[in-house]
Amino acid sequence: MPKVSIIIPAYNSEKAISKCIDSVLSQEMQDFELIVVNDGSTDRTEEVVLSYKARLGDKLKYYYKQNTGVADTRNFGMDKASRKIYSFC
């Protein structure tokens, strides 16, 4: 079981999501799960995240939900996390 759950709330983030995910992946500590919650994006955010999912497998969890704002999206990610130690990107 991973030590830390890293949660990325995303809304129309196709231009920045790769940089965020790459930053997480470049960290020295690799004992984590990465959770991306798409908050109803209308751009290519999902496509970008799914390309990482294909490479990372179960290390990356991806969820799509209707747009409800960043606070609700973070809470959604925390509910999906397997650990209660969180980090946000």
- Rounded CA gap, 37 and 23, in Å? 17
Q: Which residues share a beta bridge with 4?
A: 32
How many domains are there within the chain? 1
* Best CA proximity match to 25, nearest among 89, 84, 78: 89
CATH assignment of the domain containing 29 = 3.90.550.10
For residue range 5-57, list pLDDT tens digits in order.
Answer: 999 999 999 999 999 999 999 999 889 999 999 999 999 999 999 999 999 99
Show the domain range for 49.
4-88
Q: What letter would DSSP give residue 59?
A: G
For residues 57 and 33, the answer to whether their CB atoms sit within 8 Å is no
For residues 83 and 33, the answer to whether their CB atoms sit within 8 Å is yes
Higher-scoring residue by pLDDT: 2, 80: 80
Given pLDDT bands bounded at 50, 70 and 90, which one contains residue 83?
A: confident
Report pTM.
Answer: 0.92
- Rounded CA gap, 12 and 85, in Å? 26
